[in-house]
Structure 1
């Protein structure tokens, strides 16, 4: 399960990653939420229509109320596997905050979407500093509490990079948690950098998540970019998140290279790959709208398709923003 507030850049995969405490994740899973939409990650309308039809027949409808721990979630995925094949379907309840969620259905279509245990040349035995791990867990527990348990305002989690070059929040509690995380990560930066190449994928993903709070954006970007092609979906998710958040620190050449990387990952069947790639493209084009004119036409076609077919803000929202930027840029270039 994942946490993706609509108006918020940070997307924290807390149940899959195990960052927060078990108690906090369990509370979030048990909370009743309104299911805004069914998001089928596919570029084929007929596949989306088929999934819609199957799950409607099983009783899933937008606007229904149930918890993410409800046994019906597992039943929906089992039903889809009976049609599309065992192991061919993944279902993710995405908690958005404000008591809402979406159900994501994605397909295994050749990209490395499932957890892989090791990477070539990994750092054997690499571990995370306990103080930094504790600080990361406290921060995540607070995120869960504010969005799911207390029904807080998702806007309170809006992120920004502060003057000390790490992620910060308007919310006082989250600001204090981010400050404590920054101190712990800055002190042990070299250890965390090594852990970003750990053999254990969960250690890698937590290490990259910590780098958002290091206060060393250039070094953090270099480490995250090295993990963008990681075989593990969660590690890619954290790496892409960091590159989109700190895109303003990239050189023009790096931004150009990242556009190609993001465009490649738009072909991934993973919700998380597509979400973060579109977030990265949106960040780059927001800083330099004219650069959208240089994007490969095939990539722009993928973005237009996502803008039409996606029902989520995490994919469709970003895609529609980029399409609007492209249309505006084209009008300026061809008045």
Structure 2
């Protein structure tokens, strides 16, 4: 418990820091987003729009971060016929404002969704294999005789296990994902939370950590707790592949996710924070000028 408190304090400390680099373009510079501004004549919907976006004031992201696009897509998914425009406005002090302009909310449920797919495209055999892997993993975790589950990233760069049955599942999932990667790419923008969760779980066995990390990052603010949980878990498992540049940004997102009240949100966020701090890849604070008052 004491270690968790120390991690939480460090999290808040790093969360207030800006990372700058002279070789970045303007769209790649990390900004602190001070607020989400909703412009609409439907005043009773403002708080709901903010909630749907999945963003909270204080997160850190570059203007080019897919997190911002995902937030806008979630709003468009909820308010299907509304006219929506999302944009970021950079301000002084490496800060920014996320602005959502939205109109015609009263007719938001009359046409099919245009921004995500309701069709399940993952092959049934992949889903069944995943379900059996999860059931076996949960069974081992619940068994007092099994002891701790020893998992690691093997020489082929995918998640593997010392346990023989789980090892066989890992090999099977590694082969399975190589056959269906195009379908998995199509489900990144799925409206179905179970499909998004399955995508992330499959990415553990992709064998391409950098690609898996990039995709998982886009799910960290997902509206579904199980999807967020899987995304944070993947990043913690593959933390040794996370670059110094990405570590600060991911630490900010993990700190922001601690504001959610579910156990899985807080647990997996703290696991990722612990992994990142253990790696010692975070940029040290150079001076008081880098810290917001």
TM-score range, shorter chain: 0.5 to 0.7
TM superposition shift of 1:131? 2.2
Aligned twin of 1:198: 190
Tell me the alpha carbon deviations over residues 9-29 of structure 1, each in whole angstroms, 9 at most, x when there is no partner: xxxxxxxxxxxxxxxxxxxxx
Q: How does 1:231-310 map to 2 (within 5 A)?
A: 231-288=223-280, 291=282, 294=285
Aligned twin of 1:172: 164
Is 1:124 aligned with 2:128?
Answer: no
The 8 Å contact of residues 126 and 194 in structure 1, kept in 2 or not, is answered as no
User: Using a 3 Å threshold, how does the CA distance of structure 1 residues 268 and 293 change in structure 2: closer, same or farther?
Assistant: farther
| TM-score (normalizing by structure 2) | 0.56
- Residues in 2 aligned to 1:144 and 1:232: alpha-carbon distance in whole angstroms: 20
TM superposition shift of 1:138? 2.0
- Residues in 2 aligned to 1:274 and 1:137: alpha-carbon distance in whole angstroms: 24
| Secondary structure in 2 matching 1:228 | coil
- Residues in 1 aligned to 2:186 and 2:145: alpha-carbon distance in whole angstroms: 36
- Residues in 1 aligned to 2:151 and 2:129: alpha-carbon distance in whole angstroms: 18
Structure 1 spans left out of the alignment, 5+ residues:
1-109, 113-117, 295-335
Q: How does 1:127-142 map to 2 (within 5 A)?
A: 127-142=121-136
Aligned twin of 2:155: 163
The 8 Å contact of residues 196 and 207 in structure 1, kept in 2 or not, is answered as yes
User: Using a 3 Å threshold, how does the CA distance of structure 1 residues 261 and 147 change in structure 2: closer, same or farther?
Assistant: closer
Aligned twin of 1:307: none
Aligned twin of 1:75: none
TM superposition shift of 1:271? 1.2
Aligned twin of 1:208: 200
TM superposition shift of 1:183? 0.7
Aligned twin of 1:227: 219
| Secondary structure in 2 matching 1:137 | helix
User: Using a 3 Å threshold, how does the CA distance of structure 1 residues 196 and 158 change in structure 2: closer, same or farther?
Assistant: farther
- Residues in 2 aligned to 1:161 and 1:198: alpha-carbon distance in whole angstroms: 28
The 8 Å contact of residues 129 and 192 in structure 1, kept in 2 or not, is answered as no
Structure 2 spans left out of the alignment, 5+ residues:
1-50, 55-72, 78-114, 286-293
- Residues in 1 aligned to 2:139 and 2:254: alpha-carbon distance in whole angstroms: 32
Q: How does 1:142-157 map to 2 (within 5 A)?
A: 142-148=136-142, 151-155=144-148, 157=149
TM superposition shift of 1:174? 0.8
TM superposition shift of 1:145? 3.3
Tell me the alpha carbon deviations over residues 194-213 of structure 1, each in whole angstroms, 9 at most, x when there is no partner: 22321111111111111111
Tell me the alpha carbon deviations over residues 210-241 of structure 1, each in whole angstroms, 9 at most, x when there is no partner: 11111111111111101111111111111111
TM superposition shift of 1:177? 1.1
| Secondary structure in 2 matching 1:160 | strand
The 8 Å contact of residues 266 and 273 in structure 1, kept in 2 or not, is answered as yes
| Secondary structure in 1 matching 2:160 | strand
The 8 Å contact of residues 244 and 280 in structure 1, kept in 2 or not, is answered as yes
TM superposition shift of 1:293? 5.8
| TM-score (normalizing by structure 1) | 0.49
How many residues align? The count is 179
The 8 Å contact of residues 248 and 283 in structure 2, kept in 1 or not, is answered as no
- Residues in 1 aligned to 2:271 and 2:284: alpha-carbon distance in whole angstroms: 17
- Residues in 1 aligned to 2:209 and 2:132: alpha-carbon distance in whole angstroms: 22
The 8 Å contact of residues 127 and 198 in structure 1, kept in 2 or not, is answered as no
TM superposition shift of 1:144? 3.2
The 8 Å contact of residues 236 and 275 in structure 2, kept in 1 or not, is answered as yes
Tell me the alpha carbon deviations over residues 107-131 of structure 1, each in whole angstroms, 9 at most, x when there is no partner: xxx797xxxxx94322331421222
User: Using a 3 Å threshold, how does the CA distance of structure 1 residues 199 and 182 change in structure 2: closer, same or farther?
Assistant: same
